[in-house]
Amino acid sequence: MSQTLPQEDTPLDVISRYLDVMRSGDRETGYGFFAEDVSFHIPGRSAFAGHHRGRDAAVRYIESAVALAHEGEVELELIDMLASRDRVALLLHERFKRPDGVVDIRRANVYRISGGQIVEVWIFEADQYAVDALFGA
C-alpha cells in the first residue's frame, strides 16, 4: 500500500493566501508570511529605496506606505499573477487616497518563496517619479 506524502504549498498558494489576508486588512497576520530574514529591494530615490533585510524592516516599509494614504485608505487591484517553481510576480494597481486626490501606482512585485514563506521581494515601479513624489524623494 503506497502512502501519499503531504504536498507542500506552491508559491502561488502562499501568495494567494498572503493577498487574501492583506486585502482583508489583517496586516499582522500578513506579516507572518515574511521570513524573519526576508530580503527586499525598493527602487527609486526615496528614504525607503535600497536593499533591506528582515521582517521588521518590511513591516516598517508597508506601515509607512499605508500611513501616506488618508486614513490608511489604499485600494489594491490585482491585475495579473505569473508563477514559476519558486517565484510569483504580481501586477498591481494601487490607489492611495489622499486629501489632495488619488495617487495611482502601477507596479510589479516579484516574490521568491521558500519553505512556505516569502524570502525575497523585488518591486518594479511603472512610474518611479510618481512613487518618489508620494514617498517624498
**pLDDT, tens digit (0-9, with 9 covering 90-100), for 24-66:** 889 999 999 999 999 999 999 988 899 999 999 999 999 988 8
Supply the range of the domain harboring residue 59: 11-135
| Contact in structure between 48 and 128 (CB atoms under 8 Å) | no
CATH classification at residue 30: 3.10.450.50
| Contact in structure between 135 and 54 (CB atoms under 8 Å) | no
pLDDT reported for residue 76: 86
Q: 46 in a domain, yes or no?
A: yes
Each residue of 3-25: pLDDT tens digit? 554 557 899 999 999 999 998 88
Q: How far is CA 60 from CA 21, 57, 66, 108, in A?
A: 18, 5, 10, 20
Each residue of 103-114: pLDDT tens digit? 899 999 999 999
